[in-house]
Structure 1
Amino acid sequence: MRPPLVLDDPEDLSLGVPLSLAQHPARVYLDSLAPGSRPTMKQSLDAIARLLTSGQCDGDTLDWAKLRYRHTSALRTALKVRYAPATASKMLCALRRVLKEALRLDLIDPLDYSKAVDLGRIKETRTLRGRALSSEEIAALMATCDLARPIDLRDAALMAILRGAGLRRAEVAALAVRDFDPETGALAVRRGKGNKDRTAYLPSGAISFLRAWLAVRGEAPGALLCPIRKGGHLEIRAMCADAVLKILRRRAKQAGIEAFSPHDFRRTFCSDLLDAGVDIVTVQKLAGHASPATTAKYDRRGEETKRRAVQKLRF
């Protein structure tokens, strides 16, 4: 049984008077994120608020400026027990960012702030998450799209982008027609993770799938990939990120392969580029990672790559 998080009277941490959006530290923090990251981080803040107040507050009704070290240290312990290390670390990062906004808004004393965010890191397990897809699995997935119906053309284009450019599912869902250059295969990723723009590129084999999809979709402005109703009717609007996950689950079942996540395509993208000899800094830039250390965590090449590497040594 998970131990309860015992703190002061929950009412002591609730907002007495509602704050405007411009003065609410949690809202200011969320507004600084890319649209695709906001839902996840809002869920994290709501979960933190519920833990701190025994379910009486959410991220909007908690008075973040009232948090002190006794609260944040107890929260860190609770997160460590309740969540996987990576998830707990992500939630603590969100907490620190909200408290930083409270400091900038002059809602919390600098000394109280420095103490509240002085928390030790939660060490992650060494087991790597996710997996890389084999070339046979990717071929089986693409083979489920017979390219005779709009939905097959769209799903083939979606998987071509995930496999060929390594985009995050929220980034794929946010792509517009104007973001794709069919001549060069360039994809303009706008406001990706960390609110950063970057340019990704598709290999020539993937470009053909997008051209085939656009021949059906048309060149009208709007979302590059869009929902399709029964009967093949297209709706020119953006898909949600969860729709990408559902499409891949359906295609995996049709292909008869082990279930995987959209992010596994991203892991495959990084691993295959590294295996092809592309330097890690270039892979980092293509993937939109903050540092090569993050890119290294995506490497799923396995023992065979290490075995082949040492064969290059000469005696």
Structure 2
Amino acid sequence: MDDIRQRLPTKPVRFLDKLRQHMRGSGLAYTTERTYIHWIRRFILFHGKRHPDEMGIREVEHFLTHLAEDRDCSVGTQRIVLNAMVYLYGRFLEKPLDGLAFTEAKRPRRLPVVYSRDEIAAILSQLNGVGRLRVQLLYGSGLRSAELLSLRVKDIDFASSNIFVRSGKGNKDRTTMLPQGVVPDLKRQIERVALLHAQDIAEGYGEVYLPDALARKYPSASRETAWQFLFPASRVGPCPRTGVVRRHHLHPTALAKQIRRAVRAAGIHKPARAHAFRHSFATHLLEAGYDLRTIQELLGHADISTTEIYTHVVNRGEKGVQSPIDRLAASPNLIREQSQLYGGLGAIAN
């Protein structure tokens, strides 16, 4: 239940608790909250546990430069840390960081890991049942692993062939496509969830976690099948926020392990990552001729420049750039010359 916000004191006293309360009041996504808190804590430790209110621009510059020069962090990581510092000082402490000057990270953003269609088929052949369905949705809908695991039964709209992604990255909602090929398996999975939910209710459980606002607005929703997670955990457990015993969704590590085993069993030597299926989804749509704007909306990217990275890994195919050596190889004269050359070399060897 790592994605459930920890309960805070009504009147926080500790600095980080006050900061968390401010972030929640500002509407930051929980993933953003955790990331910012992680880097702010590291910032405080880096400066010998000094209070942020006693520090300022010079210390922030020192920390950002340290990450670039001593830790060799990526451009993306340094940007995230900068955002955390800007939030800490600009919004929470109300001490804007004007005129920051620091060494910028040089390690470039790497190209995404993309599986070919044959590799996707090979990976799926190593999976079955609900495990196969999860990977089919990662690839067929372009979902992030956290988005997949957070899906509720009600988020699947068979009538419109849409999947509703709630509070995705950036705390934004969006829709993405529902692959028609998985519809029968999805309906069977929802039936399994309904049966499991009925069993939980019979055993005295049956509630599912809802964010505070929803829990207050719909007090009985937590016991309805529609709000149950599409991919529930195998066991119930106590909620870290309230202590109520509930069934949460499958843990991300279980999904990651399953994917790693399938990729290895398929004999694929690329990194085994759940996010690679999302990259493959975007790349294969681009290869099929879909425009970047459509792909951007399906992926939920705020900036199209993020989507443009897939233009660097797309397979150009017959309509794209052809290597000059491939053009030479297609020449009848070259083929004849190569045949004569190899024949001559064979005679010399003999």
Give the TM-score category using the shorter length.
Answer: 0.7 to 0.9
2:234 aligned residue (221, 225, 228): 228
In the alignment, which residue of structure 1 is the partner of 2:118?
136
**Cα deviation, residue 213, structure 1:** 2.4
In the alignment, which residue of structure 2 is the partner of 1:282?
294
**Cα deviation, residue 127, structure 1:** 5.5
SS of the counterpart of 1:133? coil
In the alignment, which residue of structure 1 is the partner of 2:97?
114
Alignment TM-score, normalising by the size of structure 1: 0.74
**Which ranges of structure 1 fall in alignment gaps of 5 or more residues?**
1-16, 57-61, 147-152, 230-234
**Cα deviation, residue 33, structure 1:** 2.6
Given the alignment of the two structures, is residue 247 of structure 1 paired with residue 237 of structure 2, yes or no?
no
Aligned-partner residue type, residue 134 of structure 2: L
- Separation in structure 1 between the aligned mates of residue 130 and residue 276 of structure 2, nearest angstrom: 20
Q: Which has the larger radius of gyration?
A: 2
Percentage of identical aligned residues:
27
Aligned positions of 1:13-32 closer than 5 A: 18-19=14-15, 21=17, 24-25=18-19, 27-29=21-23, 32=27
Given the alignment of the two structures, is residue 204 of structure 1 paired with residue 200 of structure 2, yes or no?
no
In the alignment, which residue of structure 1 is the partner of 2:155?
179
CA RMSD of aligned residues (A): 2.8
**Cα deviation, residue 93, structure 1:** 1.7
SS of the counterpart of 2:302? coil
Pair 1:123–1:189, CA change in 2 (3 A): same
Pair 1:279–1:160, CA change in 2 (3 A): same
- Separation in structure 2 between the aligned mates of residue 212 and residue 307 of structure 1, nearest angstrom: 40
Aligned-partner residue type, residue 66 of structure 1: E
1:43 aligned residue (34, 38, 45): 38
Given the alignment of the two structures, is residue 94 of structure 1 paired with residue 84 of structure 2, yes or no?
yes
In the alignment, which residue of structure 2 is the partner of 1:6?
none
Pair 1:132–1:26, CA change in 2 (3 A): same
In the alignment, which residue of structure 2 is the partner of 1:8?
none
Pair 1:19–1:293, CA change in 2 (3 A): same
- Separation in structure 1 between the aligned mates of residue 147 and residue 141 of structure 2, nearest angstrom: 11
Pair 1:160–1:281, CA change in 2 (3 A): same
Aligned positions of 1:249-264 closer than 5 A: 249-258=260-269, 259-264=271-276
Pair 1:184–1:127, CA change in 2 (3 A): same
SS of the counterpart of 2:97? helix
Q: Is the 8 A contact 1:36 1:170 kept in 2?
A: no
Q: Is the 8 A contact 1:179 1:187 kept in 2?
A: yes
**Cα deviation, residue 40, structure 1:** 3.6
SS of the counterpart of 1:98? helix
Aligned-partner residue type, residue 247 of structure 1: Q
Alignment TM-score, normalising by the size of structure 2: 0.67
* Structure 1 ranges of 4+ moved more than 4 A: none
Q: Is the 8 A contact 1:66 1:108 kept in 2?
A: no
**Cα deviation, residue 190, structure 1:** 0.9
**Which ranges of structure 2 fall in alignment gaps of 5 or more residues?**
1-12, 196-224, 236-245, 323-350
- Separation in structure 1 between the aligned mates of residue 152 and residue 103 of structure 2, nearest angstrom: 38
Out of 76-85 and 278-287, give the one that drifted further.
76-85
Pair 1:90–1:129, CA change in 2 (3 A): farther
